[in-house]
Structure formats: structure tokens, C-alpha cells
A and B are shown apart, each in its own frame.
Chain A
């Protein structure tokens, strides 16, 4: 359902220079071709003024039976009918207004009281104006500038089995994450391209204003996911390109608004200190298309460099209790021969208890450099691409909107009611990587005390929480589309199995080293080979990261010119942190799609992940294995029915104490695009 929106991602000359290579990687299956054809047909519909309604209806079933080596046994069944609707109104050929909403009905709850609400989560008006030179987006949108200023770090699972890849797409789609590098924003974006003028190929100017996080909440609203910030972003970039050369400059500022932060002192918040964070990044980039300079089409060869400077400032807003500095004594504190200093302390006093005080923390300034060389050949025999990146990012570099990851992991997705919820280590680690990558639990539940309040109920005032049996949409997922701020980043890079070396993309602070990607497509586009390599150092922990990845995908049917689909792909990835926290992970996977008869295919996926949290969590280790297989039948273009059976096992070793979580999974779905 997100396909038409991919085109909304910024396509600056220099942004394109940095865009990830190998768009065909891992997706070049027959199914993908059919899907693209189908979407092209839909796009044709959209090119005329009028109104279009489309989307997808799904019936979904998942049963997860958990068996552990302890007393716990738990069965969770999710069965629901779900509809994603996209309404597009096209007042003119060049602009469109889009509304997306979802209806969801859990089968078990279909006779419960209360209305089942729609969830509206996308409103946008976008298109072209000014003789197609100005592209605008109003409302929800995806925007990317450069890897160091504004983009979403991509989550790549090399040659992921198709069955799992589809599951991850679905999970991410709940958060409107489409796997592109566009950052989800909500505001106004204007992107102007001059086209060819005199000796210039293009002058590009882009400006963006966006709301980033929650609005200040109403006083009577008491909810677990309190967000104390009302955060905004302002950004602009300029670019010039001529004769294969291009230069650009970008500036992005994200900040909390003080006035909305003060609102939170009116509520029963547990915290009396709020961090107000301001982050700005300025970047300059330049690139050259060497192949174009050499006037050859035999190969591609581009080179680009981006240099960015960042500033991060945090101001503490302290409520009620006075944030005072006290003079204690004025001599001797720093030792003989040195200048005497006054000692200061932060204490509470009950004097002047009405004034809020702002305290500015030391600012952090950092620099980052990213150079990228990309070469490729494309002829009838082989398509190949190689990308080499050099990184040098300071410890204090901070670019929230380029770094914020979408995968957080450590959410307990399946069988959440198993185990005692108070064991924090087990609770955190039992949520495996694969559970988080491939599963989400979406429900439409009546609102009541239990799901409105979690945490400290004493402060809430339970008399306000009478059950009213309105239903609301709930999701358990390991993905987020909310940009994090620096103070939250420490919690977002835990899982050693996902992006260990560069958890926050190419803007990850404190990294120096190289990263290389190689992709080859050959044998009549039936064989695909991929290589991934990272070697990076982290100064603060004196750590070094080494990542190696190999992937291969073969379409035997296509190669042997059979009518039958026989696709097999496999991958091996290893990531290791030396010194530092000494974490490591190894992933192996094999996936297949076999055409059986007519529109009936058999899909299978096997993947194992071994991870070691190192000294970060006292040698905790995890081994996860998933095996899923089952048939898929295509009823019509865009309509499928599929069934899978499999096992997901997660063995945890917490300092010698072993916990085994074995799950039997049965999944089925029917999906109809319209």
C-alpha cells in the first residue's frame, strides 16, 4: 500500500549520489515483477483527476504456543480481519490529497461492546506546481537530505528469505516504514528544481518544516507513553549540478519547545526535571560523476564527499523545587598551588518553590566525514556495483534525524503474558531478534484500567479510569518511526544481531573506518551475489568492529528457462566487536520459493542467529532459530492466500542459567489488494 509514496522521497542530485545501491538486491523475483506491474497499473489510474479508493484487505491468523524448560507454557492466538484503506483525491493531474486509515477487528472480540474505531494515520496533500518545477508535500511525508543530516538508516538483512522479508515488510508497514531512507515527517516540504539553466544542469532548493514528536498532552490524560517534548524540525538544502559535478549544502535543526515542556509540570508526572534538547547539523557535500566526464556509458563511476558539523545543547528545566547553587567554602578545595574554586551542589530546598529554573548543560560539538565511491558496470552479461565508504565521525557528533534507528528490538511481541514480568534481564532478552524483526501483534481492545495504566498506579487517581468500553488500536512491535533524541540513544543499540557496527547508520557517532558493498547480478539476471564488509573503530571504548556478510540468490527456473519458479537464496553474516563490550553475532539463512503447480508456490525459510552480549550484559548469550514453511496460492493479481507452519526457538544463557523458549507457530493469511 505504500508503493506510490516511495516516489515522494527526495531525489536531489547529491542525495541520489548517496542513495543505496542494488535496488534490485534481494527483490528480483517474479512476484516482485508482477507486483511492480500491478502498481504501475494503479499509478496509471492515479494520473487522472478524480477520486480513487484502494488498499488491502487481510485476514490474518497466528498461533504461537510457547514451551519453556521452566513451568511456563503459554498459547497466544491472534486472529483478525484488517483493512488498510487509501483514499486519494486528485483535484488536478499534478496534485493529490491522500488519507490512509485502518480498520481492525479481532475475531475473539467481535461481540464485545463498543464501537470499533478506524485508525487514521496518514494525511497528505502533495504534488507538483509551478510548471512542475516545485514539488510540495503537506502533511505526512517522507523526506531525505543526506546521510549525515536527514535520512532513516536502512535496516538491511542480506538475502533475507522471501517469506521472512514479507513478514518484516508487514510489521514495518504498521509504522509506515517502507524500508526506504526517507525520514517520516509531518509538516511542509517544498522542493524546487530549476532544470537546465545556462551552463548549470540544475539548481535545487529544498526547505522542510516538520513536527517530530507528540504534542503537549492534555492535563487529564494519563498514559504510559508520556512524551514530555513538543519537538520540531527546520531544514533546508541547496544544490547545484553542472557537467557531472555537483555541490550542496544542508542544514537541519531539531528542537524541543520550552513552552510545551512547562505544561507537563501541571500533570502528575513522576519526573521533576525535563531535558530540552536542541540539535543542529550543517553539512557540505560535493560529488563528481566521473563516468559522465569521460563520456562513457560502459560503466558508472561516481565519487562524493559529505562533511558535517553538529551542535547539541541540552537545557534542564527544573520544576518547583529550587535548583540552587550553594556556596560552601571558598578555599582549598582543588588543592595546594591551584586556583581556589567554589563548590556547587544541586539540592532541593522548599524556598522559592514556584519558580522553574533552566540550567544549561555543556554543549557538544562534533564533526563527521563520509566519502563514498561507487562504481558499476551494466551490460547484457553482468550488472555489478561496488560501493566503498570511508567514515570519520567524532564522538560528539550528533544528528538525531540522520541517526534515529527504526528497529529498537527488545519488545516482547509473542506470548507476552508468559513469565513473571519482574525479571528484568530475562524480560529484556527473551524478546528475540527474530520475534522483533518478523512479528507484530496488532489488536483492537476495549480501553480499560489495565491497558490505560501501567507503571505507578498510585499517582494516577484510579477514580478517573472508569471503564468506558471504547475500543482502541494497540500494537506490540520492535519498530518505531519516532525520531529519538540523544538522551534516548543509549537504549536503542542493544541488539548485537542488528547493525552492530553502525547502529545509527552512517552518522553513528565515534566511528572511523571503511564500509564496502559489492553486488553482482549475472547469468541472465538469475544469479545474484552480494558482499558486505565493515571495519570500524570506536575511540571512546577503544573498540573495533568487523562485519562480514555474504549472500547469494539463484533463480534456477529462470536460468534453466523453465516455466516453474525455483528460487533459492542464502546468506551468512558475522559481526564482531573486539575490545569494547566484546559483543558479536552470526546470522545464517536459507530461503526458497518453489513453483508447484499453476499459481501454487511453496515457500520456506530457515534462519539462525547467534548473539553474544559480551561484557555489556555479563556474558549473556542467545541462539535463535526459525523454520517456517508453507504454501502460497495466488488467487488473482494482488490476491493471495498463504499458510505457514514452523518453529521459533530462542535459547538464552544468562551467566550459566539457561532458559529455552520454544514456540510452535501456525500462521495463515488471506490478502486482497484493491
Chain B
């Protein structure tokens, strides 16, 4: 896995400073040119969309949990015993409302709510690390030091554009007139259950983060 510090991974600059004498094409930044805006910056995108980085922490936890299960199996624990252990750990995790709210707001980027649905709990459960109680520290540390910027760029190029994510904050000179909406041309395009915002780039209003505007 190639880990690139977020601050240095602005697409424009790294694209420019890469030497031209080499014809190597394996560079992630070069590969993404054309699929992300020229002023795309991973750090700014991550600040606006913390859930994209958090998805990597979730993947790491999933992987840790699967190794935890494997090692218990190797030690001779029965499948039912392991399931029971996980269920009891889930119960503890789910009862800690403060931690759930933290993950819900800070890492899943959702508005604070007192009434998490069972589907929401299911989504949050994936932050639970079995055999440990340091989920908050683990995720915070992971987000600070382990994030793979190329995956974040990939997420934006592959899904974020379709989902209509804002890739930067709005700045002076942005018209900030057209809000993101499914009524934008081509977004629904005959579909009734899914949207496709590929035709637009969006910026996020700093003062009112709920407002995403079309960038020209």
C-alpha cells in the first residue's frame, strides 16, 4: 500500500513536478487526470467528506476482526462460542451512546440524532473491534496516520462524482447560485431509484455546510 501524506498530494502539483523524461505511467496522480477536477486536493476533499477516509478505517477493522475470529478458531473455540462472544461485545458497543454519536457525526458525517435506527446501528457496528475496547483511539489514529490518499482519490473518481459529493469549499468567485438537486439536468435521466451527478462538480458552503453548489 502506498501511503502519501495528504498535504502533498494535490493532483495539480504532483502532476506537474513528476519528471517528463520517464514514460512510466503507474503514477496514481497521472492516472486520475481527467477523472477529477484539476484543482482536486485530497486534504480538502477529506475534510468535507470524512466518511470517505473513515471507510478505510472500517475496512481495517473488518480485517482485524476477521483475523481475531481466525485466531480464536485456531485456538479451538467453537463457532457458536465465537458468535456469542461477538454478540456480547456488540451489545456493549451498541449501548455506549456517546461513542456511537461520535462515530455517527465525526466519521460517518451524519447530522446528530437521538434516535438511531437499527439500520444506523448496523452501519456503526462496523467500528467495533472485537477483543479490544480502543475503537475511538484506533480510528482517530488511523485517520491521522494511515490513510491512503490514492484510495480517497479513487473513491471520488469512481463514486464520489456520481454521488454528487462536494470536492472543495466554495470560494470567492464561485457563483453559488445553483444548489445541488436531483432536478439538475441529467441527474435522474429517467431513473427513479438512483442518481448520477457525473455532469457536475460541487463545492460546499463553509458557513452552511448543508449547501452544496454547482461549480462552473
User: What 0/1 readout, one digit per residue, does chain B (173-206) give for beta carbons within 8 Å of chain A?
Assistant: 0000000111000001000011100100000000
Closest to A613 in B: B16
**A211 → B minimal CB distance (Å):** 16
Neighbour of A490 across the interface among B30, B55, B63, CB < 8 A: B30
Asked if residues A362 and B30 are in contact (CB atoms below 8 Å), the reply is no
User: What 0/1 readout, one digit per residue, does chain A (404-439) give for beta carbons within 8 Å of chain B?
Assistant: 000011111000000000001101100000000000
Complex-state Cα separation, A325 to B111, whole angstroms? 23
User: What 0/1 readout, one digit per residue, does chain B (116-157) give for beta carbons within 8 Å of chain A?
Assistant: 000110010000000000000000000000001011001101
Asked if residues A411 and B30 are in contact (CB atoms below 8 Å), the reply is no
Asked if residues A491 and B195 are in contact (CB atoms below 8 Å), the reply is no
Indicate whether B78 reaches chain A with its CB closer than 8 angstroms: no
Neighbour of B31 across the interface among A224, A273, A411, A494, CB < 8 A: A273
Interface segment, one of B20-28, B40-48, B82-90, B94-102: B20-28
Asked if residues A275 and B31 are in contact (CB atoms below 8 Å), the reply is yes
Asked if residues A362 and B19 are in contact (CB atoms below 8 Å), the reply is no
Indicate whether A339 reaches chain B with its CB closer than 8 angstroms: yes
Asked if residues B33 and A348 are in contact (CB atoms below 8 Å), the reply is no
Neighbour of B55 across the interface among A229, A328, A350, CB < 8 A: A328
Indicate whether A485 reaches chain B with its CB closer than 8 angstroms: yes
Asked if residues A347 and B33 are in contact (CB atoms below 8 Å), the reply is no
User: What 0/1 readout, one digit per residue, does chain A (320-357) give for beta carbons within 8 Å of chain B?
Assistant: 01000110111111110011010111111111000000
Asked if residues B63 and A227 are in contact (CB atoms below 8 Å), the reply is no
With A226-B26, A411-B21 given, is the CB distance from A329 to B35 under 8 Å?
Answer: no
Indicate whether A271 reaches chain B with its CB closer than 8 angstroms: yes
Query: Which secondary structure dominates chain A's binding surface?
Result: loop
Closest to B53 in A: A345
Complex-state Cα separation, A364 to B120, whole angstroms? 37
List B contacts of A487 (CB < 8 A): 25, 30-34
Asked if residues A491 and B30 are in contact (CB atoms below 8 Å), the reply is yes
Asked if residues B24 and A226 are in contact (CB atoms below 8 Å), the reply is yes
**A140 → B minimal CB distance (Å):** 19
Complex-state Cα separation, A226 to B154, whole angstroms? 22
Interface size band for A:
35 or more
Asked if residues A225 and B163 are in contact (CB atoms below 8 Å), the reply is no
Indicate whether A6 reaches chain B with its CB closer than 8 angstroms: no
With A326-B55, A328-B123 given, is the CB distance from A486 to B25 under 8 Å?
Answer: no
List B contacts of A325 (CB < 8 A): 159
Complex-state Cα separation, A229 to B26, whole angstroms? 10
Neighbour of A364 across the interface among B34, B155, B161, CB < 8 A: B34
Complex-state Cα separation, A205 to B30, whole angstroms? 37
Indicate whether A314 reaches chain B with its CB closer than 8 angstroms: yes
Complex-state Cα separation, A489 to B38, whole angstroms? 13
Asked if residues B15 and A348 are in contact (CB atoms below 8 Å), the reply is no
List B contacts of A338 (CB < 8 A): 181-182, 195
Indicate whether A639 reaches chain B with its CB closer than 8 angstroms: no
Neighbour of A345 across the interface among B27, B55, B123, CB < 8 A: B55
Asked if residues B59 and A348 are in contact (CB atoms below 8 Å), the reply is yes
Complex-state Cα separation, A348 to B56, whole angstroms? 7
List A contacts of B195 (CB < 8 A): 334, 338-339, 341
Asked if residues B34 and A346 are in contact (CB atoms below 8 Å), the reply is no
Indicate whether A361 reaches chain B with its CB closer than 8 angstroms: yes
Asked if residues A341 and B26 are in contact (CB atoms below 8 Å), the reply is no
List A contacts of B38 (CB < 8 A): 540
Asked if residues A488 and B30 are in contact (CB atoms below 8 Å), the reply is yes
Complex-state Cα separation, A330 to B119, whole angstroms? 8
Indicate whether B75 reaches chain A with its CB closer than 8 angstroms: no
Indicate whether A270 reaches chain B with its CB closer than 8 angstroms: yes
Q: Which of B35-71 contact A (CB under 8 A)?
A: 35, 38, 51-52, 55-56, 58-59, 62-63, 66
Neighbour of B25 across the interface among A341, A350, A412, A485, CB < 8 A: A485
Asked if residues B51 and A343 are in contact (CB atoms below 8 Å), the reply is yes
List B contacts of A330 (CB < 8 A): 119
Complex-state Cα separation, A359 to B123, whole angstroms? 25
Asked if residues B59 and A349 are in contact (CB atoms below 8 Å), the reply is yes
Neighbour of B33 across the interface among A334, A428, A490, CB < 8 A: A490
**B44 → A minimal CB distance (Å):** 18
Neighbour of A408 across the interface among B21, B56, B58, CB < 8 A: B21
Q: Which of A440-478 contact B (CB under 8 A)?
A: 476, 478
Asked if residues A492 and B20 are in contact (CB atoms below 8 Å), the reply is yes
Indicate whether B112 reaches chain A with its CB closer than 8 angstroms: no
Indicate whether A523 reaches chain B with its CB closer than 8 angstroms: no
Interface size band for B:
35 or more
Closest to B104 in A: A329
Closest to B155 in A: A346
Neighbour of A341 across the interface among B15, B19, B194, CB < 8 A: B194
Complex-state Cα separation, A485 to B108, whole angstroms? 37
With A347-B56, A408-B20, A616-B16 given, is the CB distance from A489 to B28 under 8 Å?
Answer: no
List B contacts of A348 (CB < 8 A): 1, 56, 59, 148, 151
Complex-state Cα separation, A18 to B58, whole angstroms? 58
Indicate whether B7 reaches chain A with its CB closer than 8 angstroms: no
With A338-B181, A345-B52, A348-B148 given, is the CB distance from A224 to B158 under 8 Å?
Answer: no
Asked if residues A359 and B158 are in contact (CB atoms below 8 Å), the reply is yes
Indicate whether A269 reaches chain B with its CB closer than 8 angstroms: yes
Indicate whether A190 reaches chain B with its CB closer than 8 angstroms: no
Indicate whether B72 reaches chain A with its CB closer than 8 angstroms: no
Indicate whether B110 reaches chain A with its CB closer than 8 angstroms: yes
**A397 → B minimal CB distance (Å):** 12
List A contacts of B180 (CB < 8 A): 334-335
Neighbour of A410 across the interface among B20, B56, B123, CB < 8 A: B20
Complex-state Cα separation, A412 to B20, whole angstroms? 10
Complex-state Cα separation, A412 to B55, whole angstroms? 42
List B contacts of A81 (CB < 8 A): none
Asked if residues A362 and B161 are in contact (CB atoms below 8 Å), the reply is yes
Indicate whether A480 reaches chain B with its CB closer than 8 angstroms: yes
Asked if residues A343 and B21 are in contact (CB atoms below 8 Å), the reply is no
Asked if residues B63 and A349 are in contact (CB atoms below 8 Å), the reply is yes
With A273-B31, A326-B58, A364-B34 given, is the CB distance from A428 to B26 under 8 Å?
Answer: no
With A349-B62, A428-B19 given, is the CB distance from A274 to B161 under 8 Å?
Answer: no
List A contacts of B26 (CB < 8 A): 226, 228, 269-271, 274
Indicate whether B91 reaches chain A with its CB closer than 8 angstroms: no
Complex-state Cα separation, A362 to B160, whole angstroms? 12
Asked if residues B25 and A494 are in contact (CB atoms below 8 Å), the reply is no
List B contacts of A410 (CB < 8 A): 19-21
List A contacts of B123 (CB < 8 A): 328-329
Indicate whether B2 reaches chain A with its CB closer than 8 angstroms: yes
Complex-state Cα separation, A494 to B17, whole angstroms? 10
List B contacts of A364 (CB < 8 A): 34
Asked if residues A486 and B34 are in contact (CB atoms below 8 Å), the reply is yes
List A contacts of B56 (CB < 8 A): 345, 347-348
**B186 → A minimal CB distance (Å):** 12
Neighbour of B17 across the interface among A229, A269, A424, CB < 8 A: A424
Neighbour of A361 across the interface among B15, B23, B119, B158, CB < 8 A: B158
Asked if residues A486 and B33 are in contact (CB atoms below 8 Å), the reply is yes
Complex-state Cα separation, A176 to B3, whole angstroms? 40
Indicate whether A617 reaches chain B with its CB closer than 8 angstroms: yes
Neighbour of A271 across the interface among B17, B28, B162, CB < 8 A: B28
List B contacts of A316 (CB < 8 A): 31, 154, 158
Closest to A349 in B: B59
> Can you offer 11 A-B residue contacts whose CB atoms are under 8 A?
A224-B22, A226-B26, A273-B28, A274-B26, A334-B195, A349-B62, A350-B66, A351-B66, A410-B20, A487-B33, A490-B15
- Given A227-B25, A329-B120, A410-B21, 7 other A-B residues pairs in contact with their CB atoms under 8 A: A273-B28, A344-B163, A428-B19, A476-B21, A478-B21, A494-B20, A616-B16
For the complex of A and B, list the 7 residue pairs with the smallest distance between their C-beta atoms, beginning with the closest: A345-B55, A271-B26, A347-B59, A344-B159, A346-B154, A411-B21, A346-B155
Which A positions have Cβ atoms within 8 angstroms of B?
224-229, 269-271, 273-275, 312, 314, 316, 321, 325-326, 328-335, 338-339, 341, 343-351, 359, 361-362, 364, 408-412, 424-425, 427-428, 476, 478, 480, 482, 485-492, 494, 540, 616-617
